[in-house]
A and B are shown apart, each in its own frame.
Chain A
Amino acid sequence: MLDPSDTLELPDGVRHLRGSLVDDVCGITSPTNAAADEILSLAPIRLDAAAELLARRWRVPAEIAVDDALRFAWSLNAAGLANVRRGGSRPARGAAWLCGALRLLPFGRLPQAPARRLPLDTSTRRRALWCTTCALLPRGGLLAGLGAALLVAAGVSLGAVAFGVALATGVAFGAALIVHEAGHAVALAPTPAALVVRTTRTSVVHGPVSARRAAAVAAAGPLAAGTLGFAVAAWALHDASFASLLAACPATGHLVGLTVATHDGRVACGACDA
């Protein structure tokens, strides 16, 4: 869901050369045509300015140029090769998102927000851990807040769990996500990597590594979160604390990521490529 007031920009690790877009992190070079070169050479560029450029330079009707510019930005963003800085005010964006959500309601879908690619310093394991934690704090916080709100609303109102327990379990949802992705990043060090945050998915993208290393990196995320959850659960059992056990569940649930039901699991088993 993009708007002409949004700005297309190249993230760290992606550079434009005439005729190609080079992803230094993943080691991929994508060819670009003349129109893409025109736009990318001016990045960061507002999408309405990009559309105007296309209309003037390639003599296409204004509305088609706007459509082309939005599609171009969307495809680059979906491939993790460009970020889109949102224009307009937050309330206006929120209202547009709500309208989109209502239109998509019959299809059971939600409007997709643009992905955001964030740089990761994986030169050392310690830096990888710190960088991933900092980059994912907003996403982890959001997940923790949503989880806590849902659990407080459901659990506390039904009298099933105490307020503090619901809050701790909600926070555990966010913390488990951070630990999971940090596990991938730490296992990747010192291979260059970047974090791509989508609406419902967070992933660490990286350059080519051997199949064995790819499997180890894929397993490291679920194992990191799962081990933490399992340790908390074991401690909770020793302490006979149902509250602590409940808080351990989100992190332990990440161990499902070791099975072929998930992409991480399939890569970890060697059943598919990274």
Chain B
Amino acid sequence: MTAARAVVARAFLLGAVAGGAVGFVVAAGVGLAVVAAGGAARLAIGPLVVLEVARVGSATSLALGPGIGLIAVVLGAVNALAALVILRRRGGLDPMT
């Protein structure tokens, strides 16, 4: 069970790193595209802002928010869950323990 916990923890960490980095790049890409198009946008998951492009006069600001952290956590959890499923299928995890 300890080994399974280690696998799940590692899968969560690696999934979160991958999800966070890819989420950051995608959000940055969308943000820069909006800036280039001269528009404004706000993307949020509940109260957590992922991306905000605001125009104040002639100036444009692009901000990436803590929503990316939430994306990372969610993808880390999905990866951990998938790792658990793989472990069970391989018989590496006893469902009774």
A265→B6 CA distance, assembly (Å): 14
Interface residues in A192-248 by Cβ distance below 8 A to B read: 215, 219, 222, 226, 229-230, 233, 236-237, 240-242, 245-246, 248
Q: In this assembly, does B45 line the interface, its C-beta being within 8 Å of a C-beta of chain A?
A: no
| 1/0 contact string of A63-107 vs chain B (CB within 8 Å) | 000000000000000000000000000000000000000000000
Q: In this assembly, does B39 line the interface, its C-beta being within 8 Å of a C-beta of chain A?
A: no
| Cross-chain contact A249 with B7 (CB below 8 angstroms) | no
| Cross-chain contact B25 with A271 (CB below 8 angstroms) | no
Q: In this assembly, does B83 line the interface, its C-beta being within 8 Å of a C-beta of chain A?
A: yes
| Cross-chain contact A248 with B25 (CB below 8 angstroms) | yes
Interfacial chain A residues near B3, Cβ < 8 Å: 270
Interfacial chain A residues near B74, Cβ < 8 Å: none
Q: In this assembly, does A259 line the interface, its C-beta being within 8 Å of a C-beta of chain B?
A: yes
Interfacial chain B residues near A44, Cβ < 8 Å: none
| 1/0 contact string of B1-36 vs chain A (CB within 8 Å) | 001001100110011011001101100110111011
| Cross-chain contact B79 with A249 (CB below 8 angstroms) | no
A253: nearest residue on chain B (CB-CB)? Answer: B22
Interfacial chain B residues near A229, Cβ < 8 Å: 21, 25
| Cross-chain contact B25 with A240 (CB below 8 angstroms) | no
| Cross-chain contact A270 with B7 (CB below 8 angstroms) | yes
CB distance from B5 to the nearest CB of A (A): 11
Interface residues in B47-62 by Cβ distance below 8 A to A read: 62
Q: Provide the main secondary structure of the chain B interface.
A: helix
A227→B90 CA distance, assembly (Å): 31
Interfacial chain B residues near A272, Cβ < 8 Å: 86, 90
Q: In this assembly, does B70 line the interface, its C-beta being within 8 Å of a C-beta of chain A?
A: no
| Cross-chain contact B11 with A269 (CB below 8 angstroms) | yes
**Known contacts A229-B25, A252-B25; A269 and B14 CB within 8 A of each other:** yes
Interfacial chain B residues near A252, Cβ < 8 Å: 21-22, 25
**Known contacts A253-B22, A255-B18, A270-B6; A260 and B79 CB within 8 A of each other:** yes
Interfacial chain A residues near B64, Cβ < 8 Å: 237
Interfacial chain A residues near B40, Cβ < 8 Å: none
Q: In this assembly, does B87 line the interface, its C-beta being within 8 Å of a C-beta of chain A?
A: yes
A242→B86 CA distance, assembly (Å): 38
Tell which of A219, A233, A271 touches B83, judged by Cβ atoms closer than 8 Å.
Answer: A271
Q: In this assembly, does A256 line the interface, its C-beta being within 8 Å of a C-beta of chain B?
A: yes
A253→B22 CA distance, assembly (Å): 7
**Known contacts A237-B28, A269-B7, A269-B14; A260 and B21 CB within 8 A of each other:** no
Question: B: which residues have CB within 8 A of A?
Answer: 3, 6-7, 10-11, 14-15, 17-18, 21-22, 24-25, 28-29, 31-33, 35-36, 62, 64, 75, 79, 82-83, 86-87, 90, 92
Question: A: which residues have CB within 8 A of B?
Answer: 215, 219, 222, 226, 229-230, 233, 236-237, 240-242, 245-246, 248-249, 252-253, 255-261, 265-266, 268-272
Pairs of residues from A and B, 5 with the lowest C-beta to C-beta distance, nearest first = A269-B11, A258-B14, A255-B18, A258-B18, A242-B32
